Structure formats: C-alpha cells, structure tokens
Amino acid sequence: MTQIPLERKVLGENDRIAAALREEFQRRGIFCLNLISSPGAGKTLLLEKTLEGFAPGRRVAVLTGDIQTDNDARRLARYGFPVQQITTAGACHLDARMVERHLANWDLSSIGLLLIENVGNLVCPTSYDLGEDAKVVILSVAEGDDKPLKYPLMFRESALLLLNKIDLLPHVDFDIGRFRANAARVNPRLEVIETSARTGEGIDQWIDWLRARVGEAASGRRSCGET
Amino acid sequence: MTQIPLERKVLGENDRIAAALREEFQRRGIFCLNLISSPGAGKTLLLEKTLEGFAPGRRVAVLTGDIQTDNDARRLARYGFPVQQITTAGACHLDARMVERHLANWDLSSIGLLLIENVGNLVCPTSYDLGEDAKVVILSVAEGDDKPLKYPLMFRESALLLLNKIDLLPHVDFDIGRFRANAARVNPRLEVIETSARTGEGIDQWIDWLRARVGEAASGRRSCGET
C-alpha cells in the first residue's frame, strides 16, 4: 500500500461503509470476526474444524476471500452453513464494500456468527476495517517466533491470536516463551490460543471463545466490539 | 493494492526507475535477484546459508526489506558482505526508488551479485519491478501445495522457485507431485529447487544456479534477464 493522499480517501470511504456494517451487525446481534494470516498459516482448515464444532442449523456464516480461486468456499460449503467466496481479482485484501456487496445476498436475521476469512497477507488487510467486532490473527509456528516484531500492526490490532500448527513444534525452531514475550511487547492485551487444525488440539478452546462472544452479541453485550 | 488510476501512475514511475536500474546492472555486469515470499518462508535463513556459500571477498551484496525492524540486516551482516536494511515503515513491498536510494551508498563496481530480500508478502511485491534480472519465489512446504493456484501472479512472474523447509515434509500434508503440477499449470518454465536452509539440503544446487548466472552476467550474456 503506497502512502499517497488518494489512499486516505479510499480508506475514508472504506471506514464509512465499515461503520455502517458494524452498526448493522450490532443492531442484529451478529458477532463478526475478520480472520487474517499469511498464506499457508492454516486459516481454511481451521475454519473447517470450527464449522465442524457447530451443529448444523446454528446461525453461522462464512465469507472467504481469495485472490483467484473459489477452492476455499467449496471446501467450506461441505459443512452445511452458508458460505460465499469473495474473489478479489488481484487485490491483496478484502474491503468493506466487498463484504457489503456479498452480504446483500443473505438474510442477515438468520446469522449470529459471521466469520470473514481475509486474503492471505499479514500486511495490507490490517488497514481495511470490515465492520468486524474483532480481528483474529492466525500464525503458524513454521513462520517463526519473531513475527509479532516484524509485522507489529497486525498483532497490535488483533484481539486474539491463534497460534496454529503447534503439532510442528518439535520440528521447527520456534520458542513459545520468546514468541509470547514478542507478542506481549506489541500488544499486552492479545489473547493467545494454541491450536492444531490438523490434530484438533485447542479447537475446543477456540470454539468456547467464539460461543461466549456470540452469546454476548446476541444479548446486546460486547466484550471486544469497540475496535 | 486498490485498483485505482493513481496506482497506474505510481507503477509507471516505478517502472521508469526500475528500467534505469536494470540498464545500470546490465552495463556493470551485476546479476540482481528479487527474492519474494510469505512471512516465515525462511528467506533470511536461506540468505544466511547462501552467503556462507560464497567466499568473503566475492562480490556479493544484499538489500533486505522489512516493514519495521532491522533484525535481518543484523543477522546477514555477520557474513562479511555489504548489507543494507530497507525499512518500509508500513509499506507492504519494496519499490524501485527505495532500491535506487540505498544503492547510492555503495560503489556498484564492487558488486557482481545483488540479492534483494523483499518484504514478507506473496501478493504486493509482484507488482513492483526493482530492476532485477529475475524474481525468485520462496515457498515453505508448511504453506501447502495449493499456493501456486491461489497466488498465481507471483509464481507466473518468477524464474525460480525455492521450495524450502523440505525437512518438514514428513510432518505436513504437502504432496510434492501435486505441488509441481500446480506450479507447472501457472508457469511451465518455472525452475524448482528443493531446499532446507535448516539442514543445508539443496543449498549447493541453489548456489550453483547463482554462480552460473553471475558468471553469465559478468561476461555480458544473460539467461533470464529479459523480464
């Protein structure tokens, strides 16, 4: 993202749409998360395991972003929840207008939890508010324990970090203690849940985290809504 | 990168500077690579192993991009070659002007191989020509064998792919055959070298690849210079 005045205008327009989305989500008691990671951190498999954790008929919906393919939507549609692919045709992030446009296809009164899987990119999506209640950053242990320091904005703006692929810990040079210290340095309030979408470890804890917030959103109370 | 007219202007200006850099590199017989990957694919450790493979006094230099820290330059400076950090202060890619500005500090007649480590991002750096002879994409097997299809532009524009962290192959769901088929689908001419910066596997082959091209550049012949 080049630092140019026009960008501020684009972001201003984005913020306006995102604010309207946020207001609508709050009015309807929808809890919305914006899930962000590098390519290959395991977002889609994590989402599959997440959907498995909710009984069909629960009010969960997914928007999944990709630059080119609709592979993720096809993978996620198998779980019986509404899923839409947002294909950005080259753009490196989702923006609020893309979300607004795709939500127009849905009856929002049937949704309690909206999961938005952003494009695989640890930098640009941070600048584009989608109206979410919170950002969740997903990091694979294969990416290294220094990442909070190298990509601080993402970690600073997130409410929760899913530290994924922890089944790989014995095989990579990743020091959990050093990682937690690095994460706390850029965001002392960042919650961390260790997960392995592959083995299922930590998925229950993540789903409990979700359920608690969906319940709060539905009853009009918010724990991390004032982003 | 938002699709706006101003972006075309910014890219036009970038292309002008990149063309001048390319001309200067060719005139001086410098072979220049633009190394691109997601965060955590192992670019910096690969560069460390690469520098270890060249005797001190060889004409190698490194520009290393990062959004925030100068950790990489400090790691790379230990090998006795000239290294400069380009800190982008939030921008998600290097551009030609950043490269031009940092090269002004160096005597280019002392350089035969210039390695540019881009910011960790598999999307945006693709759009910014840095005057390089070729792009090299680095992918960790932990990222998944579907990545050429999901981020096709990067794989299409690269001359070489370093498939890194192959020591993790027994521990991840990565099918080399499927990966090679996916890579060939987006770029049939893409060379692939399998590496593990951690175990050293494949590093010799990569250094041989480099040496051959540095030799060609110095003698005025180019194998992948017409990008």
Model pLDDT for residues A9-18, shown as the tens digit of each residue = 778 999 999 9
| Residue A79 pLDDT level (bands cut at 50, 70, 90) | very high
Q: What percent of chain A has pLDDT over 90?
A: 85
Please report where in the chains the tokens 């910096």 appear, as a residue.
Answer: B44
Tell me what pLDDT residue A4 has.
54
Rg (C-alpha) for chain A, rounded Å, is 17
What's the whole-number mean pLDDT along residues A187-204? 98
Contacts of B178 in chain A (CB under 8 A): none
Cβ of A71 within 8 Å of Cβ of B122? The answer is: no
Q: Alpha-carbon distance A139 to A161, whole Å?
A: 7
| Residue A120 pLDDT level (bands cut at 50, 70, 90) | very high
What's the whole-number mean pLDDT along residues B126-137? 97
**Alpha-carbon B133 to chain mean position:** 10
**Nearest CA of chain B to the CA of A158: how many Å?**
17
Q: Which amino acid is at A107?
A: D
Q: Roughly what angle, to the nearest 10 degrees, separates helices A203-218 and A43-52?
A: 70
Identify the closest residue of chain A to B65 by CA–CA distance: A150
Instruction: Report how far apart, in Å, the C-alpha atoms of B183 and of each of B186, B189, B197 are.
Output: 6, 9, 21
pTM: predicted TM-score of the whole model, two decimal places: 0.91
Q: B176: part of which helix (H) or strand (E)? A: helix B176-186
Contacts of A142 in chain B (CB under 8 A): 40, 140, 142-143, 165, 168
Closest by CA position to A140, among listed A14, A53, A39: A39
Q: Alpha-carbon distance A172 to A166, whole Å?
A: 10
Q: What is the mean pLDDT of chain A?
A: 92
Q: What are phi and psi of B72, to 5 degrees?
A: -65, -40
Q: Alpha-carbon distance A33 to A127, whole Å?
A: 15
| B residues 168-197 lying closer than 8 A (beta carbon) to A | 168, 171-173
Per-residue DSSP letter, A121: -
Higher pLDDT, B216 or B103: B103
The side-by-side arrangement of strands in the sheet containing A31-37 is: A83-87, A60-66, A113-117, A31-37, A134-140, A158-164, A191-194
The least confident of A36-40, B20-24, B86-90, B221-225 is B221-225
- Residue A227 above 50 pLDDT? no
What's the whole-number mean pLDDT along residues B157-183? 97
What's the whole-number mean pLDDT along residues B115-144? 97
Interface membership of A105 toward B (CB under 8 Å): no
Interface membership of B165 toward A (CB under 8 Å): yes
Q: Which amino acid is at B27?
A: R
Q: Alpha-carbon distance A115 to A136, whole Å?
A: 10
- Residue B36 above 50 pLDDT? yes
The least confident of A47-61, A138-152, B169-183 is A47-61
Which site among B75, B87, B119, B122 would you substitute to test the A interface, given the most A Cβ atoms closer than 10 Å to its Cβ?
B122
What's the whole-number mean pLDDT along residues A127-143? 97
Q: Alpha-carbon distance A144 to A163, whole Å?
A: 11
